[in-house]
């Protein structure tokens, strides 16, 4: 499949408008984003598995139950989580005000929030902000929207690609935020994706589930899953392709295109991990099942001992196999090989004599590849993580201040 990288992020696909503004939730940075489809769009979502689900997550689940939506309103600086009935009322009010300003039904609006947990939204400020941002949406507003959903992020995260599907050029674009509290079960992030592909709500949900499992649910920064995570996608059909209603060739191509965007956004989240100095790409090779490979990969990348070893540039491969052994995955330790880039450090579960200078050179890089070969099956799973640095502790020790 031939991809073309395009500009515009969340508004790269036909028929989408966006904007991001400062409305006063934060002290000075942009804190309110709006994304709008010009026409009715199929909609799908994947949400955090944290039992403390924030009010916007609960409201958005209700609104997207019918499989369609037109807009996404998102604030940063306040999570509207653990806020009880008042939080639910506030999330619904955000949808109501957005719908009124855009001439939509309230259920056509998805709501998202990110920031500090346990505080009530300043609703007068938010409502005034929604009126302002609704008047500013444009086809060039994607970057501003991406900036407005950031919290501890150092950089905004955007991606967009086009490809031919069913004889038509289809575009998928997106934006994401995330830097800390990143772990599977929807990671800890917000991701919003738009496409002009014509696809049924059922197939869109299936495609999103598949893609999330192979992107956002394969990244980790610190092993924490938040209360507000969600990944939403809108598909308005303006590319003009035949509606994708089954698992045919067009569906496979759409999956590839969606995966391209979600993988790039996922990797950008990890690269921006709080205090991160290393980007770790780990492949579990020849696993018996995808689930086994995922569990082992995340067991390794979530290990604080593994993460600190890479921060300290110590080729301590023993921490990798030890982390594997803590999972509930059944495998044969006596078959396991471990590589750091192209340097093999363990064979058949035993350590090798290797060049320490070569190992030091490898792990002193910013990007490090790790390969674990199980020799159990034919499934390969690649996941992404980072190291754990002094700065991570500093950032999270003073998050509210």
Of the pLDDT bands very low, low, confident and very high (cuts 50, 70, 90), residue 388 is confident
Looking at every residue in the chain, the average pLDDT score rounds to: 92
User: Residue 345: enclosing H or E segment and its boundaries?
Assistant: strand 343-347
pLDDT band at 395 (very low <50, low <70, confident <90, very high): low
Q: Is the pLDDT of residue 187 over 70?
A: no
Mean pLDDT of 385-394: 78
List of E strands, 247-293: 279-287
Kindly state the percentage of the chain with pLDDT values over 70.
93
Domain spans, the chain:
4-271, 279-397
Q: Quick one: pLDDT at residue 182?
A: 47
Rounded mean pLDDT, 315-327: 95
- Per-residue DSSP letter, 7: S
On the question of pLDDT at 381 being above 60, the answer is: yes
The full DSSP string for 151-166 is SS-SS-EEEEEEEEET
What span, in angstroms and rounded, lies between the C-alpha atoms of 46 and 57?
A: 10
Tell me which architecture the domain covering 4-271 has in CATH.
4-Layer Sandwich (3.60)
Of 202, 165, 231, 186, whose CA–CA distance to 13 is shortest?
A: 165
pLDDT band at 198; cut points 50, 70, 90: very high
Instruction: Give mean pLDDT, residues 285-302.
Output: 95
Angle at 330 between CA 328 and CA 333, to 5 degrees: 110
pLDDT score of 400: 53
Number of alpha helices (DSSP H) and beta strands (DSSP E) in the chain: 11, 15
The active-site residue, picked from 114, 188, 220, 227, is 188
Count CB neighbours of 101 within 10 A: 21
Q: Identify whether 188 is a catalytic site residue.
A: yes
pLDDT value of position 154: 85
pLDDT digits (tens, 9 = 90+) for 257-288: 999 999 999 999 888 876 778 999 999 999 99
pLDDT bracket for residue 181 (50, 70, 90)? very low
pLDDT bracket for residue 223 (50, 70, 90): low
| Residue tagged 């569990």 (tokens) | 295
| pLDDT value at residue 342 | 95
Please say if the pLDDT value at position 310 is more than 70: yes
316/149 Cα distance (integer angstroms): 38
Residue 234 has pLDDT above 90, yes or no: yes
- What pLDDT was estimated at residue 48? 86
pTM (2 d.p.): 0.89
Residue 171 near residue 239, CB atoms below 8 Å: yes
pLDDT over 50 at 186, yes or no:
no
The string of pLDDT tens digits covering residues 56-73 is 999 999 999 999 999 999
The CA distance from 248 to 91, in Å, is 38
The string of pLDDT tens digits covering residues 4-59 is 999 999 999 999 999 999 999 999 999 999 999 999 999 999 998 888 889 999 99
DSSP-based three-state secondary structure for 150? coil
Q: Sign of dihedral through CA atoms 71, 102, 126, 124?
A: negative
Residue 159 has pLDDT above 60, yes or no: yes
Span 123-152, average pLDDT: 97
The residue-averaged pLDDT of 361-381 equals 97
* Right CATH for 279-397 from 3.10.20.340, 3.20.20.370, 3.40.190.10, 3.30.930.10: 3.10.20.340
356 pLDDT higher than 70: yes
């Amino acid at each position: 499949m031939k991809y073309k990288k395009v500009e515009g992020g969340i508004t790269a696909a036909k028929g989408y408008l966006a904007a991001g503004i400062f409305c006063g939730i934060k002290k000075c940075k942009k804190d309110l984003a709006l994304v709008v489809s010009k026409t009715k769009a199929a909609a799908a979502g994947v949400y955090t598995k944290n039992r403390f689900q924030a009010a916007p997550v609960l409201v958005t689940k209700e609104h997207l139950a019918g499989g369609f939506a037109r807009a996404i309103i998102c604030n940063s600086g306040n999570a509207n989580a653990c806020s009880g009935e008042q939080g639910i009322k506030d999330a619904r009010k955000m949808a109501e005000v957005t719908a009124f300003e855009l001439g939509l039904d309230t259920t056509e609006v998805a709501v998202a929030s990110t920031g500090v947990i346990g505080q009530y939204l300043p609703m007068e400020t938010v409502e005034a902000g929604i009126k302002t941002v609704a008047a500013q949406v444009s086809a060039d507003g994607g970057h501003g929207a991406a900036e407005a959903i950031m919290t501890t992020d150092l950089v905004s995260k955007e991606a967009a690609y086009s490809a031919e599907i069913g004889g038509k050029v289809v575009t998928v674009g997106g934006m994401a935020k995330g830097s800390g509290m990143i772990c599977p079960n929807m990671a800890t992030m917000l991701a919003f994706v738009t496409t002009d592909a014509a696809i049924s709500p059922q197939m869109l949900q299936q495609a999103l589930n598949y893609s999330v499992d192979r992107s956002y649910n394969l990244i980790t920064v610190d092993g924490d899953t938040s209360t507000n995570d969600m990944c939403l996608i809108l598909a308005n059909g303006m590319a003009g392709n035949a509606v994708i209603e089954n698992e045919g060739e067009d569906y496979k191509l759409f999956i590839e295109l969606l995966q391209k965007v979600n993988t790039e956004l996922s990797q950008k989240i990890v690269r921006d991990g709080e205090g991160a100095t290393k980007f770790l790409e780990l492949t579990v090779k020849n696993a018996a099942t995808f689930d086994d490979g995922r569990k082992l990969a995340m067991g390794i990348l979530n290990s604080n001992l593994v993460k600190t070893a890479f921060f300290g540039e110590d080729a301590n491969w023993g921490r990798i196999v030890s982390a594997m052994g803590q999972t509930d995955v059944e495998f044969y330790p006596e078959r396991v090989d471990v590589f750091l880039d192209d340097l093999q450090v363990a064979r058949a579960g035993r350590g090798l004599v290797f060049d320490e200078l070569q190992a030091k050179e490898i792990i002193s890089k910013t990007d490090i590849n790790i390969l674990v070969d199980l020799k159990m099956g034919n499934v390969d799973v690649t996941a992404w993580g980072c190291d754990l640095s002094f700065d991570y502790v500093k950032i999270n020790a003073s998050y509210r201040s």
